[in-house]
Amino acid sequence: MTTGTEQITAAEIETAEAGQNESFEGVQADTDKHTDATEHHHGPAKGISRWFFTTNHKDIGSMYLWFSLVMFMVGGCMALMVRTELFQPGLQFIQPDFFNQMTTMHGLIMVFGAVMPAFVGLANWMIPMMVGAPDMALPRLNNWSFWILPFAFSIMLMTLFMEGGGPNFGWTFYAPLSTTFAPPSVTYFIFAVHMMGISSIMGAINVIVTILNMRAPGMDMMKLPLFVWTWLITAFLLILVMPILAGVVTMMLMDIHFGTSFFNAAGGGDPVLFQHIFWFFGHPEVYIMILPAFGIVSEIIPTFARKKLFGYSSMVYATSSIAFLSFIVWAHHMFTVGMPLAGELFFMFATMLIAVPTGVKVFNWVATMFRGSMTFETPMLFALAFVVLFSIGGFSGLMLAIAPADFQYHDTYFVVAHFHYVLVPGSIFSIMAAAYYWLPKWTGNYYDEKMGKIHFWLSFIGINITFFPMHFVGLAGMPRRVPDYALQFADFNAVSTVGAFLFGFSQLLFIYNVVCCIRKKNQASKQVWEGAYGLEWTLPSPAPYHSFTKPPKVD
Amino acid sequence: MDSQTQEYQEYYVPTQSYFPIVASVSLFCLAFGAASVLTAVENTGDMGMIMLFTGFILLFFVIISWFTKVAAESRDGLYSAQMDVSFRWGMGWFISSEVMFFAAFFGALFYIRVFSVPWLGGEGDKGVSNMLWEGFVSQWPLMTTPDPSLFKGPAQVVDPWHIPLLNTILLISSSLTLTLSHKALKLNNRTWTSIWLAVTVVLGAVFLYYQVLEYHEAYTELGLTLSAGVYGSTFFILTGFHGLHVTIGTIMLLCILVRVLEGEFTGKKHFAFEAVAWYWHFVDVVWVGLFIFVYIL
């Protein structure tokens, strides 16, 4: 614990400069004394067992984040394979069946392996520090939630090497493609999904319990940082919809192996039933991937605009409304399956309603920046790009919400453009922003700002070159999930592929920057960012192994 | 706020633990083993059985040791009042997720009954799908499937007013006896706690016995099987998962009974008992839904 003592001394020196967080000041002194008094507390264990057996929210958060980064690279390589094949019309590099496996696995890995674990990792790291808790509420369960994931994804990736290949039915695994016409490996896929579901549900329970029960005295619900709020709502969504996913894959399993006919009209079932259940899970799922991003951006923009977040309570209500609406819009993914007209209309209008709370959020972010003293460090750049590009994705979503128009856009590259605009410069950029924003707190060192900015600009340019042309080819009628296409789409596809490689390879800069940040000593202060506000900035950088063994008092 | 600070007791963060990683390995073995057994890709069949078996052993071992450890920690007084609240929230939200798991199957049942079967029979907004199997008549229970050569419909369905009614009475009374047991425990009357708890376990076991009997009858006499069209599918997935939950619940009640007999729990502190009771009542409520929507209507 010698390092611990050093941190405390550093903390004492810094106490003077933490201007923003003075309301926590008295508290901090308390915490420091307490750390001194409880020297016998267990620090990190030595060796590899630390990671296998840990119960520490920071260790588990780091493991989630590294796992997510690895999966991001794996899923990214698959995307690059897809883009390579699509560089030119005709079949050049891979066969259609393998192409289908790549699009499917790319989607599954990015959704369940990269974005979701990254957010859970951030939640693990930040929520206990932000609410003034010693750790997550159920630490052993927390570690279990993480360790299920590497095993689940090993099964998922193993399917690629099985007879008949891996899942090739798209990440939405519609029946009967995923039942009657699926490769044998689909059974492994089903069980892997079950494992991910167990992990997510336990993780979500942990987050909710931590937020509801572990807040420091005085940390009222309406004082919670917005990242915590958005995660609380996300966790509710997870608990409510992951079991639905488990239910639908169970029905698939029964149809494949036990002779049932849930998704087979010959026995009285309905393949469209699959889509209804899947999207009842799937639509809240896409908000699971964006609400924490809203939270991150709502933390970062006030810091670098040096103003309090505009409309805090309206942000909370907007997030809750979005979460509620996410349960009644699922069938907008299936306007073309032949729903009754009343259904089409209901889901169209309900979907459009979502634009209202989302608009409130975007307005609040812009209003926060209005007349602020802004600076443009890397996290802020990513957050700004988030606001602009996510809005573009939101607008194309609004276009897709119009049922009659959707008959033209459905299953075209326009849809691909839409959801990549909300997921890449939306979710992924927010994760990058969060990583840069909190890296100094995690590692105790500043990252290389210049390299961070280069990474940002390359990513920003890369993704726009990749995904913007997809709007055009989509509107012109290029279907998604095809390895070959008509000649008229050739130019835009070539451009997209170039952009994809630019974006993909520029992520190596990020990895290099993170590794340097961990290794090189460029001591960060406790406050890290001049305008940062919140309990996590009252702790030394790097944050001590146990955050608040005694709860701080928040006024 | 000051009183809160005074009452403050340190939140227990357990030291390193091997339970999570062993539990993860066990889930991996179970998932991979089950998938291998089901697909039986060359040579993986045997390996699948071995993995499945290993997975069960590991899971059994982890559950026993994890809960033993938690019980021991509780006895050692490591759990503060705040920790107790964590457990309560945790169990509550776990049961919520279970509710949603059943909601998926109930939702499927309703969709099939209200939309897809009538549409196939030519009724309603999308009745045009009748052209797939012309002459198919929509009915519920679905005795004749659209394509009887692929899915032969059931000859008969289970009569709700025999075994299912009996089972309803059994489960509802078991909820009652469990509540009586809980009341007795709160009054520190351990004899009646054990007696009512034992009665609850017996009622659960008798329920399961009749459920097995009903399944046996369905398969041998009624022609109601998993592959008897979508009626059989929804019937067995709903009652089957419910039966699985009753089985788990009965085992948990039995464990609690053993702990009561060993003199554990006090009138004030007995969250394990309460958690299992919540779970049992949840299973009971699901059964009422099943009795109404699967058996009667």
Q: Say what the pLDDT of residue A161 is.
A: 94
Nearest to B96 by CA among A43, A551, A242: A242
Query: d(Cα A291, Cα B54) in Å, to the nearest integer?
Result: 40
Q: For residues A447 and A513, is the Cβ–Cβ distance under 8 A? A: yes
Beta strands in chain B (DSSP E): none
Rama region for B80: left / alpha / beta (φ>0; ψ in -120 to 50; rest)? beta
Contact at CB, B32 and A191, closer than 8 angstroms: yes
Give the containing element (helix H, strand E) for B278.
Answer: helix B271-290
Give chain A's mean pLDDT.
92
CATH classification number, A48-538, choose in 3.40.50.720, 1.10.1370.30, 1.20.210.10, 3.30.365.10: 1.20.210.10
The whole-angstrom separation of Cα B180 and Cα B27 is: 37
Using one digit for the tens of pLDDT, what is the confidence trace for A405-436? 999 999 999 999 999 999 999 999 999 999 99
Residue in chain A lying closest to B129 (CA): A265
For residue A30, what are the CA distances in angstroms to A132, A238, A385, B5, B220? 13, 36, 40, 12, 72
Q: Which of A145, A298, A466, A541 is the catalytic position?
A: A298
Helices (H), A258-354: 271-288, 291-305, 312-325, 341-353
Predicted local confidence at residue B257, as pLDDT: 97
pLDDT in tens, B189-202: 999 999 999 999 99
- The residue of chain B with its CA nearest to that of A151 is B28
Contacts of B31 in chain A (CB under 8 A): 151-152, 155, 188, 191-192, 194-195
* C-alpha distance from residue A363 to each of A47, A194, A310, B10 (Å): 49, 39, 9, 42
Q: Average pLDDT, stretch A93-106?
A: 96
Q: Residue A136 phi/psi, 5° resolution?
A: -70, 160
Q: How confident is the model at residue A203 (pLDDT cuts 50, 70, 90)?
A: very high
Res. A33: pLDDT tops 80:
no
In chain B, what's the furthest Cα-to-Cα distance? 77
Band of residue A42 on the pLDDT scale cut at 50, 70, 90: low
Q: What is the mean pLDDT of residues A228-255?
A: 97
Is A298 a residue of the active site?
A: yes
By C-alpha distance, the chain A residue nearest B91 is: A205
B contact test, residue of A194, A260, A337 with most B CBs within 10 A: A260
pTM above 0.90?
Answer: yes
- In this prediction, residue A22 carries a pLDDT of 59
CA distance A369 to A58: 31
β-sheet bridge partners, residue A479: A412
| Backbone phi, psi, residue A8, to 5° | -65, -40
Taking only the tens place, the pLDDT of each residue in B258-286 is 999 999 899 999 999 999 999 999 999 99
Q: What is the 3-state secondary structure (H, E, C) of A123-160?
A: HHHHHHHHHCCCCCCCHHHHHHHHHHHHHHHHHHHHHH
Report the distance separating Cα B129 and Cα B139, nearest Å. Answer: 15
Q: How many helices (H) and strands (E) does chain B have?
A: 9, 0
CA distance A71 to A64: 10
Q: Which residues of A touch B34 (CB under 8 A)?
A: 191
Q: Which of A223-232, B18-27, B44-53, B136-145 has the lowest mean pLDDT?
A: B44-53
Q: In which band, very low, low, confident or very high, does the pLDDT at A47 lie, cut at 50, 70 and 90?
A: confident
Collect all residues of chain A within an 8 Å Cβ-Cβ radius of residue B118.
Answer: none
Overall average pLDDT of the A138-149 stretch? 96
Round to whole Å and give the CA distance between A302 and B55: 49
**Phi, psi dihedrals of residue A412, rounded to the nearest 5°:** -110, 180
- Give residue limits of the domains in chain B: 15-78, 81-104+153-296
What would the CATH number be for the domain defined by B81-104+153-296? 1.20.120.80
**What is the rounded average pLDDT of the residues A382-407?**
96
Q: Maximum CA pair distance of chain A?
A: 75
Residue with token string 């019937």: B235
Could you tell me which residues are beta bridge partners of residue A523?
A445
pLDDT tops 50 at residue A188: yes
Residue of B19, B93, B104 with shortest CB distance to A205: B93
Q: Considering only CB atoms, which chain B residues are within 8 Å of A143?
A: 17, 20-21
Question: What residue type is A97 in one-letter code?
Answer: D
High-pLDDT (> 70) share of chain A, %: 92
Closest CA of chain B from A393, distance in Å: 30
CA distances from A462 to A316, A425, A495 (A): 33, 11, 10
- AA letter at A321: S
Contacts of A418 (CB under 8 A, 6+ apart): A393, A396, A397, A399, A400
